[in-house]
Structure 1
Amino acid sequence: MTAAHYINGQWVAGEGADLITVFDPSLGQPFAELKATSAAQVDQAVAAARQALPAWKNVSASQRAAYLRGFAEQIDQRREELITLQMQNNGKPRHEAVVDIDDAVATFNYYAGLAEQLDARQNRDVPLPVAGFTSRTRLEPVGVVGLIVPWNFPLVTSAWKLAPALAAGCTVVLKPSEVTPLIEQTYGQIADAVGLPAGVLNIVGGKAETGAALSNHPGLDKLSFTGSNGVGSQVMRSSATHCRPVTLELGGKSAIVVFDDCDLDQAVEWIVAGICWNAGQMCSATSRLLVQDSIADALSERLKTALETLRVGNPLTGEVDMGPLTSLAQWNKVNEYFAIARAEGLRCASGGDVLRDSGWFVCPTLYTDVPLTSRLWSEEIFGPVLCSHRFSSEEQALTLANDSRFGLVATVISADLQRAERVANALEVGHVWINSIQAVFVETSWGGTKGSGIGRELGPWGLSAYQSVKHVTHCLG
C-alpha cells in the first residue's frame, strides 16, 4: 500500500485493519485507496511528538513564525493541484475551492504574525499591590496536541488548528477524515519542503479505530476536534478520563432572520449562499429561515426561482454553482430527511428529492411554513435543505431564533441597522453577520454556544487555546 501517513518525519504505509477508499462524489466512483494506521502507529506518532516537544517549544517564536510563512508559501505554490483535489474529492465548485486555499494561506500567515510578537510578550511584569514581590507572566505551549478534523472543509479546518498550535510551540498529531484523507497529506509534504523538525507534525489517517486510538491516548496534553455532536461527546468523555483540555467545534442549526424592510433580491442572494455553499455541508449553514410575515410569500417565490436556476453538477466538467454531497452516507442521510418531510406533510416549494443520474447530487430544497415540531426544523441535516417559518415582531423573531440546542452562527437582514444590531446582540450564538454572506476572517473568532461546542478558534483566541499561562513570583526578601 501507498506510504500515505507521516510519522516522525517519515512517510509510512498504514498497518491498520481498515481500508480507506477515496471517492469522486460527482461520479460516485473510487479513485484512490490507502490502508489506515494502526493503534500502534498512533502510539508511534504520539511518541514522536513527545520526543520533539522540548526542542520545538524552545525554538524562538520568530523561528516558528518563519516555518509558518513557509507553509503559507508552499500552499500557495500548490494552489492548482489543491483546487483540483478539492473539486474531485469534495465536489466543491472551483470558486469555493479557491476560497478554501486562500483561507488556509491567510491562516498560516496570520499566526506567523502573532508568533512574531510572542518573544516580546514573554516574561512581562505583573503589577502587584504588595511591596517586596515581583511577578512575571510566561506563555508556554500546552504540549502534545491531537487534532481531529472533518471532511467538509479539509485543509481549512486543519489550518485553523495546526497553525496556532505550531505557533504556540506545540507538537501535533493530526487525524484527517477518512472521507477526504489525501489533501491533508499536503501538510506532510510541506513539512519536508520547509525542513520542519521530525516529530513536530505527524499525520495519521484512518476511520473510527484511528480516531478512538488518538482521542483516548494518554500521551496527549490537549485534543481539538471538529465534527458531529455524537463523536464530540465521545471525545469529551475521553478527555474527561484524562482530565485534559479539549476544544470542540460541533453542529449547528442556524437562523437567518429577514425583516420586511430588506431588499428582497439581495436577501435571496444571502439566503441561498447560507444554505447552498458547499452543498449545505456546513456546521454554519443558516438552514432555519425566519421571515417577517408581510414578505414571506414574495420571498418564497424569489427563493424558489433562485434555487431552481442554480447550476448543479460536476465541477470538473463545467462551471457550476453547487456540486454533489461529499459522501454516499451524507447523500443517504439527506434523502432520509426528504422522506421524513413527506411523512410529516411539509410544504415543499422547491426540490425535496435526490438526483439519481450519477454521483451524489441532491436538489437545493425549500420547505415553507415549517412547523416548529418538525424534525427538519430542529435537527442538523447537513445538506442544501432550507426550512422557513414566519414571524410578526422582532421579539418573536428572537425567541424563535434562540429556540435551539445549537448556537453557532446567525445572519440578520434588515435596512434598519439599529434594529439589526439589537437583534445581533441578543442572538445566543458565537458569530452574527448583518446584511452579508458568511464572510469568515482569520482575525475574528470561530465557535459557538450551547451544543455547538466548547472554546474558540481563529483570532488571538485560537492561539490562546494552545498556550498555558504560568506566573513566576519572587519574594525580594
Structure 2
Amino acid sequence: MTSENLIKYTQLFINNEFVDSVNKKTFPTLNPASGQKIADVAEAEKEDVNKAVDAAKAAFSRNSEWRKLDASARGRLINKLADLLERDITQLAKLETLDNGKPVGDSEFDIQCSIDTLRYYAGYSDKIHGNTIPADGDCISLTRKEPVGVVGQIIPWNYPIMMLAWKWGPALAAGCTMVLKPAEQTPLTALAVAALAREAGFPKGVINVVPGFGPTAGVPLALHNDVNKIAFTGSTEVGKQIMAYSGQSNLKRVSLELGGKSPLVIFNDANLDEAVEIAHGAIFNNHGQNCCAGSRTFVQSGIYDAFVKKAVEKATNRKVGDPFGDGVQQGPQIDKASLDKILRLVESGKREGAKLETGGAQIGNNGYFVQPTVFSNVTDDMTIAKEEIFGPVQCILKFETLGEVIERANNTQYGLASGIITKDINTALVFAQSVQAGSVWVNCYDYITPQTPFGGYKMSGIGREMGAESLEGYLETKTISIKMPGKL
C-alpha cells in the first residue's frame, strides 16, 4: 500500500494552523510492515510545546470564543467532529494501518468505536451539573462543576485514533482546551483528525497536536506550569515519571492508564471451543499490543490438555501478513524495539522451562512480523508470566481450585483487567468480587464501550477512562454558599 493521497498533514497543529517546528527539525515515521519511511514529520520540542500551551491557555481565557459557547454548542461541535470521522473513515483507516500496521478492517473498527465515544461525550456536554446541599446553618450551599483548564494528553501507538477519542471526548465535553502529544511511532492520524476538528469549527487553540519524542516534547508538556492536568496512556515506568513531574511543577492533576498482566481464568465447566475462542482473542487481538490483553491464561486441570491442543491449533491457523491483504488477522508489530523485546521474552520462556507449543520466531526479514506463539506448562515465577510482553504470545498456566487461582491472579503488580469463563454464577461472582482489577469480564473479554469506565488497580494506573467517571478528571468542584437574610 502506497502513501499516495493519504498523507496530507505532517506539520505541528497549533492554534488551528499547521506549522513547522521552531527549529525546523523533522523525524521519520515508518511503515512497520516494511520498515521503510512513510514521511518526515515535524518534531516538536520545548519551544513548540510552549507555543501550543500558550494557544490553549488563550483559548481557555474567560472571554474567549470557546468559554462563551453554550454547553449544548460544545456538544454539537463534538458531534460534528464525529460526523467528519464517519465521512472519512475509509481513508483514515488506511492511514492508520499504514502507520500502525494493524489490519485495515481492525482500523475501521477502531475508528467506529472512536466515533461512538465522541458521540457519547457530545451528549454529556450539557448534562454536567453540580448539586444543592442541605448545609447546616443559615446559608444555601451549592456546587458548580468547572473545567480544569489546559490539559496535556500523551497517547500511545497501539490504538492511535481510539486513544485520541478517549482523551478528547471527556475533555471537550467538560470545556477544557488541549495539547496532545501522539506517539512518535504513529503521529499521522492525530494530525489528520486535528484537521477535521478545524473543519468542524472548533475555535483556535482548543485543540493542538505536537508530535515529538517523550524526553523533548512529553516532558516539557508534563512539567509546564500552565498545564492543569496530564492524561497519559502508556507504560508504568513512564507513568511514574509523569507523577514525579506533577510534583516538580504545579501539582497538576494526573490520570494514568498503564500496563497490565491480566488473568483470564477458565474453569472445567466452560464450553471448550468457546473458551478457546475468547482466550485467543484476548491475547492475539491487535497483535497482542493491548494493555489489558489476557496475557495469563489460567486453565483448570480437568480441561488443560484439551484446551492447549485447541489453542495451539487456532494460533497455528492465524493468518499473518500484509495488513491490507484479504483475510489477514495479524500484521506487524509496531517497530524493531517491540519485535526484539518479544523475541527476548520468548527465549526467556524456553530457557526457564515453559514448553513452546508453536511459533516463537520472526517471520521474514522485511517488517516486524512475529509468529503467533503459544507456551504451555507456564508457572507463576517465569519471566513471561510476570512481564508485560505486549506481543502475540499466549502463556497457559494450570490451576486446581477457585481460591488458589484468585491468589495467583492477584499476585502481580498490575490490576488493569481480568476475565473468567464458567457456567457457575457463584464462581463468577466470587471471582469478580475478589480479583484486584479495574475490569472483570465474565464469559467474554475486552468488552469496553463508551459507557463503561476503564482503568486499573495498583500499578495499572490512576483514574478512569470512558463512562461518566472519566469526566471527573477534567472538572473542578466549586462550592458556593450564600447567606440568607434573617427573619422576614
The TM tier, using the shorter chain, reads over 0.9
Q: Distance in 1 between matches of 2:44 and 2:289?
A: 27
Distance 1:411 1:324, change over 3 A: same
Secondary structure at the counterpart of residue 294 of structure 1: helix
- Letter paired with 2:242: V
2:475 aligned to which of 461, 467, 472: 467
Is 1:254 aligned to 2:269, yes or no?
no
RMSD: 1.5
Aligned length: 473
Q: Distance in 2 between matches of 1:194 and 1:17?
A: 28
- Letter paired with 1:463: L
For residue 156 of structure 1, what is the aligned residue in structure 2? 162
- Letter paired with 1:52: A
For residue 94 of structure 1, what is the aligned residue in structure 2? 104
* More displaced 10-residue stretch of structure 1: 18-27 or 252-261: 18-27
Q: Distance in 2 between matches of 1:3 and 1:93?
A: 23
Distance 1:380 1:16, change over 3 A: farther
CA deviation vs aligned residue, 1:355-403 (integer Å, no higher than 9, x gap): 1242111111111111221111100010011111111100011011111
For residue 132 of structure 2, what is the aligned residue in structure 1? 125
On the 8 A contact 1:16/1:35 being kept in 2, the answer is no
Is 1:233 aligned to 2:232, yes or no?
no
CA deviation vs aligned residue, 1:377-431 (integer Å, no higher than 9, x gap): 1000100111111111000110111111000001100111221122112110000
* More displaced 10-residue stretch of structure 1: 169-178 or 10-19: 10-19
For residue 146 of structure 2, what is the aligned residue in structure 1? 140
Is 1:174 aligned to 2:184, yes or no?
no
Structure 1: gaps (5+ residues):
none
On the 8 A contact 1:311/1:320 being kept in 2, the answer is yes
- Trace 1:216-227 onto structure 2 (pairs within 5 A): 216-227=223-234
CA deviation vs aligned residue, 1:277-324 (integer Å, no higher than 9, x gap): 110001001110111011111100000000000011112133211111
1:61 aligned to which of 51, 64, 71: 71
- Letter paired with 1:461: E
Secondary structure at the counterpart of residue 387 of structure 1: strand
Q: What TM-score does the superposition give when structure 1 sets the normalisation length?
A: 0.96
Distance 1:420 1:2, change over 3 A: closer
- Trace 1:45-444 onto structure 2 (pairs within 5 A): 45-54=52-61, 55=64, 56-118=66-128, 121=129, 124-130=131-137, 132-208=138-214, 209-241=216-248, 242-444=250-452
Secondary structure at the counterpart of residue 272 of structure 1: helix
Shift of residue 16, structure 1, vs aligned partner = 4.7
Shift of residue 460, structure 1, vs aligned partner = 0.5
Q: Distance in 1 between matches of 2:18 and 2:55?
A: 13
For residue 13 of structure 1, what is the aligned residue in structure 2? 20
Structure 2: gaps (5+ residues):
1-7
Q: Distance in 1 between matches of 2:377 and 2:350?
A: 14
- Letter paired with 1:238: Y
- Letter paired with 2:207: L
Q: Give the share of equivalent positions with the same residue, in percent.
A: 36
Q: Distance in 2 between matches of 1:459 and 1:201?
A: 22
Q: Distance in 2 between matches of 1:17 and 1:411?
A: 48
Secondary structure at the counterpart of residue 421 of structure 1: helix
Secondary structure at the counterpart of residue 77 of structure 2: helix
On the 8 A contact 1:398/1:427 being kept in 2, the answer is yes
Q: Distance in 2 between matches of 1:438 and 1:18?
A: 39
Q: What TM-score does the superposition give when structure 2 sets the normalisation length?
A: 0.94
